Amino acid sequence: MEEIKKNISDGPKISWTAPEFTEYDKKPSWYASIAIVGVILIVLFIYTKIYAGAAVMIAAMLVLFSQATIKPKNTQYSISSEGISINDKLIPMDKLKSFWIVQTDTLPRLYIVRVGKISLPISVYLKDVNEANIKNILTKYLPEENDGGELIHETINKWFKF
Residue 24, φ and ψ in degrees, nearest 5:
-105, 145
- Using alpha carbons, select from 124, 122, 127, 102 the residue that is nearest to residue 112: 122
Whole-structure pTM value: 0.73
- Report whether pLDDT(147) > 80: no
List strands edge to edge, sheet with 122-125.
96-102, 109-114, 122-125
Distance separating the N- and C-terminal Cα atoms of the chain: 26
Average pLDDT over residues 60-74: 89
pLDDT given at position 7? 47
Range of the domain at 84: 3-20+75-159
Do 83 and 14 have their domain in common? yes
Given this model, what pLDDT does residue 21 score? 82
Instruction: Summarize the confidence of residues 111-135 as an average pLDDT.
Output: 87
Averaged confidence pLDDT in the chain: 85
Q: 92 and 53, same structural domain? A: no
**Average pLDDT, stretch 139-154?**
79
Q: How many domains does the chain have?
A: 2
Q: Is the pLDDT of residue 153 over 90?
A: no
Within this chain, do residues 59 and 84 fall inside the same structural domain, yes or no?
no
